[in-house]
Amino acid sequence: MGARELVDLYDDHGRVVGQATRAQVRGQNLQHAATAVLVRNQRGELFVHRRTDTKDVYPGLFDVAAGGVVEAGEDPAQAAAREAFEELGVHGVPLLPLGVAHYADEHTRYLAFCFEVVYDGPIRLQPEEVAWGAWLPVAEALAWLTDDEHPFVPDTTALLLDHLRRAVAGQEVVEG
């Protein structure tokens, strides 16, 4: 998505209230919608990756989710599937909704549509966005998320940490 591409703006109730360019959204920290997709496999591992150093938000940090900005007119589930495919090559599996939450900091402000997939196919990293990736047991990924050696993006950490803790504790992972 380029700086001139349009993004829908959202209110706190999940309603589209306008549009702005991606550059305006970033420059003015306007509330928009974004997706986060946890990618797990049948062995119960979680795919963890490191963002490239050229990303405009949180460059070089680790992440537990594929995802990105929902484009103007795009359905959040379609955006989640698109982002999982573009970043990691994940396709052909159902998105399991985890919920919707608000996230805001000095860099970004958005309504987060969170999903999970179970995927055992090949992972294909998008070199413009993903510098490194590996499957980790969920307990190990959780340890990485909470240590000082692996700096993680704050947004998906805040949005998905409790979900991963429940997974490690053996509680039901996908609700609903």
When pLDDT is cut at 50, 70 and 90, the band that residue 176 belongs to is: very low
**128 assigned to a ligand binding site:** no
pLDDT at 1: 56
**How many domains, the chain?**
1
When pLDDT is cut at 50, 70 and 90, the band that residue 174 belongs to is: very low
pLDDT at 170: 76
- Contact yes or no for 101/76 (Cβ under 8 A): no
What pairing do the DSSP bridges indicate for beta strands 65-66 and 32-40? antiparallel
**172 assigned to a ligand binding site:** no
**pLDDT tens figures, 146-169:** 999 999 999 999 999 999 998 888
Q: Is 137 contained in some domain?
A: yes
Q: Is 173 contained in some domain?
A: no
Nearest residue to 7 via CA among 24, 23, 21: 21
First to last CA, the chain: 32
Average pLDDT, integer, range 90-110: 96
Q: Is 71 contained in some domain?
A: yes
What is the phi/psi pair of residue 132, to 5°?
-160, 150
pLDDT at 154: 97
Nearest residue to 9 via CA among 34, 40, 27: 34
Q: Is 88 contained in some domain?
A: yes
Q: Is 68 contained in some domain?
A: yes
Q: Is 175 contained in some domain?
A: no
**pLDDT tens figures, 3-56:** 689 999 999 999 999 999 999 999 999 999 999 999 999 998 999 999 999 998
Average pLDDT, integer, range 74-87: 98
- The CATH number that applies at residue 139 is 3.90.79.10
Q: Is 176 contained in some domain?
A: no
Q: Is 1 contained in some domain?
A: no
Q: Which residue has the higher pLDDT, 51 or 1?
A: 51
pLDDT at 63: 98
pLDDT above 70 coverage of the chain, percent: 95
Mean pLDDT in the chain? Answer: 93
When pLDDT is cut at 50, 70 and 90, the band that residue 98 belongs to is: very high
The pTM assigned to this predicted structure is 0.92
Q: Domain span at residue 157?
A: 6-119+126-168
The token pair at 72 is 């103007």
- Please report the DSSP string for 6-34 in residue order: EEEEE-TTS-EEEEEEHHHHHHHT--EEE
